Structure 1
């Protein structure tokens, strides 16, 4: 899909993402000062870090399972251990490198090479991320519409945004040429047996990340109803998907400050919560370092397709 963009835009797109995230952070520091950032570092505890590690671990298992479901539907199955290790690696790289998506790109390329089809590997990773974010957006719409919170008036806006995404997906699915694969992939992923598992995995993953956000809220000491905090957490998760960040920082902080202000909890408090959440989410990706170290130590030659055949067949059987 990116091939439709002019060559010059494609070349500078990573720099634009980095610049966008940096600009958001500069504006936030200019508007609120360094106080919320210093306060976040003071209140973060080892107990909250341990909780974030455990909750993110559960979310990572759910994400890896969803990825396996997507990859199998596209014809490039993954093993359980390999998918979990690759997901931890990609999360750490996303958190440590500019742009917030380089880990996913590495995950897709590596999967494609291992499966003998680079295109399928990249598409599987993209669909894994896209389906997860669409489910998160759907959960946000449900939360805004059903939960008694000050954010309920914004439910129609969220619903319209989700509808626009669905309409765009339908339009892409009917295109021919360079994006003809979209329709083929959507038909594979929307089969009931696949779609139900993708939604279930996404819901479990979202629950884990919402729980980490609630840990950050508890650490800061925000007094609000559970319904409001869940709605805010879902809005932050959806807003964090905006592809303008510096190693994950930028949009998340801006969205959190804005949503807290809309909920009547104060934008400064929201920024502090977001920084704590960012620290916890970043530290929770540290197991990915172990995967990178194992990669460096083992350095085994990449197996041939004939050597991979038994493992791939086992993965297909589940």
Structure 2
């Protein structure tokens, strides 16, 4: 019940953001986002999407192999495209990742480890995004940097209080459950898999490289979207705004990826002295680019559906019914008689 409520909260939250944007800015920004797209920009965005998907799948392979699972790059690319399409087509934005985690786990006979491999793979990308994003936001002039200069002390104090409270809760919970061997084993397994999948000498260079290429690809897609929407701002000026949009996309309040990205982009462009409508248009163009880049996942879905339909299903073996054999009476014994 809790999961169902949270799923509805995510979807309704994203829908509320879109509704608020339509109320404040109208529908022209959404329509303009569709009008400014042409075949050339779609092709460029699609090719960038191919690069980011291949490197994302490679990162998944590195993490999965690091924790002892089998995963070929070709299969990983197909599953990743399928996940991207499901994330873009279904509410919530995470159902595709859940599907590829469970599928890989079933194929290898360990669903739990398959789920943890996907979680670690996505976490690696988020860590690189947060590190790069925070570095740019606190060094490059942007609305965020202006807000930090005005309210930096209050923000730091609030963050410290939140971190301290979270640490107290976590430590208290651990002490209360210190005697639970199951939790202790789970924590030990998680730490070992983090070390093997992300931090080992063989894996971390590739994981960082793949995550950096994926982040660069997303930023490049945003630049293409900005140019298609008519923005002439420099990449240096756009970078903090685009990173804010990417950080907003990690929030679990969206409808197929739509919602926080559009709201934050509109606010960031307005706060930076540009048009909120143009910021929303750029976000819409980026959303269309992301959906088109994920369309090969539909081909993967269709191909696997056809393959399953053509695979002959095993026939049920006929059950032999028992044959009733009537019991035979023994033949009467004939007594031999002797003549007198």
**TM-score category of the 2 structures, normalised to the smaller one:** 0.7 to 0.9
Match of 1:102 in 2: 95
Aligned residues of 1:149 and 1:227 also touching (Cα < 8 A): no
- Per-residue deviation, 1:150: 5.2
- Per-residue deviation, 1:255: 1.3
Give runs of aligned pairs for residues 57-72 of structure 1, distance below 5 A: 57-72=50-65
SS in 2 for 1:139: helix
Match of 1:204 in 2: 213
- 2:191 is equivalent to residue 183 of structure 1: yes
SS in 1 for 2:203: helix
Match of 2:225 in 1: 216
- 2:145 is equivalent to residue 152 of structure 1: yes
CA deviation profile, 1:54-84 (whole Å, cap 9, x unmatched): 0010000110111111111221131010011
Match of 2:307 in 1: 298
Match of 1:316 in 2: none
Give runs of aligned pairs for residues 280-299 of structure 1, distance below 5 A: 280-299=289-308
Asked which structure has the greater CA Rg, the reply is: 2
- Per-residue deviation, 1:40: 1.0
Match of 2:75 in 1: 82
Aligned residues of 2:17 and 2:259 also touching (Cα < 8 A): yes
Aligned residues of 1:70 and 1:128 also touching (Cα < 8 A): yes
Match of 2:9 in 1: 16
Match of 2:247 in 1: 238
Match of 1:313 in 2: none
- Per-residue deviation, 1:265: 1.5
- Per-residue deviation, 1:48: 1.0
Residues 116 and 154 (structure 1 numbering): CA distance in 2 closer, same or farther, change over 3 Å?
A: farther
Query: How many pairs align?
Result: 287
The one of 279, 288, 295 equivalent to 2:288 is: 279
Give runs of aligned pairs for residues 240-259 of structure 1, distance below 5 A: 240-259=249-268
- Per-residue deviation, 1:287: 0.8
CA deviation profile, 1:110-136 (whole Å, cap 9, x unmatched): 010011100011111111112111211
Q: Which has the higher helix share?
A: 1
Q: Taking structure 1 as the reference length, what is the TM-score of the superposition? A: 0.83
- Per-residue deviation, 1:182: 3.2
- Per-residue deviation, 1:267: 1.6
SS in 2 for 1:48: helix
Q: Taking structure 2 as the reference length, what is the TM-score of the superposition? A: 0.78
The one of 105, 116, 121 equivalent to 1:123 is: 116
Aligned residues of 1:69 and 1:194 also touching (Cα < 8 A): yes
Determine the C-alpha separation between the residues in 1 that align with 2:78 and 2:85: 11
Determine the C-alpha separation between the residues in 2 that align with 1:25 and 1:34: 10
Match of 2:324 in 1: none
Give runs of aligned pairs for residues 132-147 of structure 1, distance below 5 A: 132-147=125-140
Match of 2:338 in 1: none
Determine the C-alpha separation between the residues in 2 that align with 1:102 and 1:141: 28
Determine the C-alpha separation between the residues in 2 that align with 1:267 and 1:183: 44
Determine the C-alpha separation between the residues in 2 that align with 1:260 and 1:184: 43
Match of 1:43 in 2: 36
Q: In structure 2, list runs of 5 or more residues that go unmatched.
A: 312-340
Match of 1:310 in 2: none
The one of 204, 220, 226 equivalent to 1:195 is: 204
SS in 2 for 1:193: coil
Aligned residues of 2:143 and 2:268 also touching (Cα < 8 A): no
